[in-house]
Amino acid sequence: MPGPEVQGGRQSTEKPRAGHVRPLQGGNPRPGIYGGLCPHPALRDRLPPRGEGKSGKEVPMPKIYFHVDVNSAFLSWSALKALQGGSTVDLRTIPAVVGGDEAKRHGVVLAKSTPAKKFGIQTGESLFAARVKCPGLTVVPPDFDFYVKNSKALIQILNDYTPDVEQYSIDEAFLDMTGTEALFGPPLTAAHTIRRRVRRELGFTVNVGIAPNRLLAKMASDFEKPDRVHTLYKYEVETKMWPLPVGDLFGVGPSAAKRLNSCGIYTIGDLARLERDTAVRLFGSRGDTLWNYANGREADPVTKQRTRDNSYGNSVTMPRDLARPEDADATMLALCDSVGRRLRTDGKTARVVTVQLVDNAFRRTSHQTTLPNPTNSTDRLYHVAIELMRQMWPQRPVRLVGVSAEKTGEDNFEQMDLFTDAARIDKQEKLDRAADALRKKFGGAAVTRAKLLTPETRKPEALSAAKERDKK
């Protein structure tokens, strides 16, 4: 089996003597768990376990994950469709973008070519602004049916290399490649095999990130593009990831990046070197998660959702993509009103609030926070939810908004302190109970919050945001 491609250096073909480990550049053999000698960390991460550790227990096999990400997916797939239709111009080689319908206020850049990027065009900006930057810009409409077809073809190929494929969005997936070395060779070899096969059979390119967890694999795949393979082992985090802007860290949106910058945190390394307690004090529980991410630790699963005990949640796909978090405020209020009403009906309160967003590239993100006191107040749920929403709002327009209340119980009391506005809380509880009683007697439309009485939210499709869908 051919060895891995190594850029910027030579790979020796000399075979080591039996029982001998030849040191790699930058490392010397030293005692380790693999018996006798342990090589450079890059190889140590790839070796299967041998024997038992000092405790007498079997040493677990080091985990290896790939993150496969299609390069400029929508633009690449639109280019592929045009070429298949007889076009002689590859959209990937000219300044081109995929954009929505400007007449219907969907005139936003969904994807861009590399030449378009050189003009400063950014995903999520208006087509008008993009044309100002590049007057000769080519704009093509999206074709989601064709995109889904190519996405399925990609996943079909990935399934040939591991049964553990987790599709993260329409254009990316995680692969658990642990234990596949005997079948497909070392991680670099397997990654390049997948990369070449996708380009050869499907006609578009991907980046592959290799790492010991999903978080680092995703970060690695975002390094230099297109059509590349990158590693990000734990020992590489300080040199490869820490110098990057903090806004490049998974889970840090534009709003969070600005807040971090205002605290003097400009790089991922700045956040990683921060005292953990300081990160929590500045940003709450989310600060702890981001601090772990900056240090290469997958504090929360990147792809798999937690099992939610007695969770109450609602979500809605918007009639149009939303560019700003303020555009989703009314919908979020309707969702929180529905969740709070169901909590009160069941005599429950919740300690955790989670907000979920899906952008127009079908990338799903979620943020959550733990409340100091359990609540079922619509007002409290709403204010927590919109704060989370502003922290996590992605660069791309959003097509789905959701909220859930978790860690529920029957603790129908709130611990007061000198700064608690007891009168306001009591008033809010009475308002919630009165509204619930009226709705129960006269129907759900009997009481409507003033914020929802807008041209957008009067529409039946917008009011249906508060679906009576119990996800317990």
Can you read off the two tokens belonging to residue 175?
């692969």
The single residue of 125, 172, 298, 406 carrying the catalytic annotation is 172
Looking at residue 453, the DSSP 8-state letter turns out to be -
Distances (CA, A) of 256 to 44, 124, 146, 246, 328: 36, 17, 34, 9, 18
Q: Cα–Cα–Cα angle for 299, 33, 241, nearest 5°?
A: 35
DSSP assignment of 225-243: -SS-EEE--GGGIIIIITT
Half-sphere CA count of 105, side-chain side, radius 13 A: 6
**In which order are the strands placed within the sheet that holds 229-231?**
165-169, 172-176, 65-70, 206-211, 229-231
CB-CB contact of 238 with 325 (8 Å): no
Distances (CA, A) of 451 to 323, 329, 369, 454, 455: 20, 9, 25, 7, 11
Q: Which amino acid is at 312?
A: Y
Per-residue 3-state assignment (H helix, E strand, C coil) for 30-64: ECCCCCCCECCHHHHCCCCCCCECCCCCECCCCCC
DSSP-H helix ranges across 409-459 = 422-442
Catalytic site residue 172?
yes
**In which order are the strands placed within the sheet that holds 109-112?**
109-112, 96-99, 138-140
- The candidate with the shortest Cα–Cα distance to 43, out of 59, 60, 57, 62, is 62
Q: Cα–Cα–Cα angle for 397, 399, 403, nearest 5°?
A: 110
Distance CA 366, CA 67 (A): 19
CB-CB contact of 128 with 140 (8 Å): no
CB-CB contact of 188 with 231 (8 Å): yes
Active site members: 172
